[in-house]
Amino acid sequence: MKKIIVIGNNIDSLLCSYVFKQYEGVEIKIIGNQYYDDFLNNGLEYVRKTKEVIRLFEKYDLESSVYTVKAGIMLKGLIEPFNQSLKKLSKNEIKRLKTDYYRKTRLIEPDEIGIKKSFSDFEIIDNRVIRTDYTYLINKLASDSNFIFDETVVRIDKDFVITDRNKYKYDYAICVLPLWESEKIVNFKINNSMSVIKNIIHLEAEEKKFFQYDVVYTPYTPSNCVYKITSLDDFVIEFSGAFNSGRILSDINFLFGDGWCINSVSSNYSGYMLPVENKTEWPFNIIPVGKFAKWESKINFDSTLDELFEVANRWFGKYKRIER
């Protein structure tokens, strides 16, 4: 029996459990208390239609639909389709726009690489997505997973994961924690990493100009706070850094001049990742999984699922894949 320990409990750990439980002779446990809010409260979930995603949905009898995300950008008070709007700008104007948006979202000055990655969100790169009831899916994945709650991992040794209560022998370990958490428990070098704090406000409004878009980028607002508005059951606005009520209200009043009502406020999520000097070299039997664990901004649900099957085939290719 091959033993896998997953350190951390979020959407990525649930996908780890789902994938590796499909291989005979493999036992997988997740150590950590649940933390799924960052995935569920982000507005739209951008998941592409892949073979493995469809297979996952079918396992839990989930209905789904594919649609095209309509992305817009607000410039000079007008909202236009994102790509169409950028075609009207000169190269210098586009560079200035990307520089200003990087400053607004990351709260630091960009270098040339940063400018290129300024608008790197999924809906701009690939706007064909699949939607379903992700809350239901997460609950089903969690019910099929084997958790060790109320224990904190303090160290990952060569053969054991050590917690504040026990130690667990493993053949392979998977870390879904952000890099800045992983560096506290491993015995190899991980470069310093930081992400910008992301804050989310859900609000009701009758602002018709936003209704025709799924997401609108707002690089220029009076208080330079709100950088994106997502439209779902309500409007989801995002902004980076410290929560300053006066500045936030100023931007909300500018964007939703016909009136608005706040439904909920969530803060201190992990937002845009700041650059790191070098890529971390992980041991062969310990791997990072997920955006903040690998420090790669373009990773999402479907790419993680595909990667995990590649890892499983590499580790356990001689074992038969089964349905459970």
Q: How confident is the model at residue 118 (pLDDT cuts 50, 70, 90)?
A: confident
| DSSP symbols for 175-210 | E-S-HHHHTTT-SS------EEEEEEEEEEE--GGG
Please give the average per-residue pLDDT across 193-203, as a whole number. Answer: 94
* CA dist., res. 200 & res. 41, Å (int): 8
pLDDT tens digit sequence for 143-168 = 999 999 889 999 999 899 999 999 99
* CA dist., res. 32 & res. 30, Å (int): 6
Check whether 69 has a pLDDT greater than 60.
yes
Q: Residue 37 is encoded by which pair of tokens?
A: 């809010």
Please give the average per-residue pLDDT across 166-183, as a whole number. Answer: 95
Q: Which pTM does this prediction carry? A: 0.91
Mean pLDDT score of the chain: 90
Closest to 235 in 3D by CA, of 258, 222, 223: 258
Please give the average per-residue pLDDT across 50-57, as a whole number. Answer: 95
Residue with tokens 């990493």: 193
Q: How confident is the model at residue 36 (pLDDT cuts 50, 70, 90)?
A: low
Please give the average per-residue pLDDT across 104-125, as a whole number. Answer: 82
Q: How confident is the model at residue 128 (pLDDT cuts 50, 70, 90)?
A: confident
Cβ burial 82-114 (10 Å sphere, 16+ → b, else e): beebbeeeeeeebeebbbebbbbbbeeebeeeb
Q: How confident is the model at residue 257 (pLDDT cuts 50, 70, 90)?
A: very high
The pLDDT value given to residue 13 = 94
Residue with tokens 């939703």: 256
Check whether 226 has a pLDDT greater than 60.
yes
Check whether 44 has a pLDDT greater than 60.
no
Check whether 169 has a pLDDT greater than 90.
yes
The pLDDT value given to residue 38 = 64
Please give the average per-residue pLDDT across 172-183, as a whole number. Answer: 94
Check whether 206 has a pLDDT greater than 90.
no
pLDDT tens digit sequence for 289-314 = 999 999 998 888 999 999 999 999 99
More confident residue, 117 or 17: 17
The pLDDT value given to residue 41 = 57
Please give the average per-residue pLDDT across 258-271, as a whole number. Answer: 91
Please give the average per-residue pLDDT across 209-238, as a whole number. Answer: 93
Could you tell me whether strands 160-163 and 153-156 are parallel, antiparallel, or unpaired per DSSP bridges? Answer: antiparallel
Please give the average per-residue pLDDT across 217-236, as a whole number. Answer: 94
Closest to 105 in 3D by CA, of 236, 6, 196, 221: 196
Check whether 43 has a pLDDT greater than 60.
no
List the beta bridge partners of residue 260: 205
What residue ranges in the chain does DSSP mark as E strands?
A: 2-7, 26-31, 65-68, 71-75, 78-81, 128-131, 147-148, 153-156, 160-163, 167-169, 172-175, 195-205, 215-217, 226-231, 235-240, 260-273, 286-288
The pLDDT value given to residue 165 = 94
- For residue 317, give the DSSP letter: T
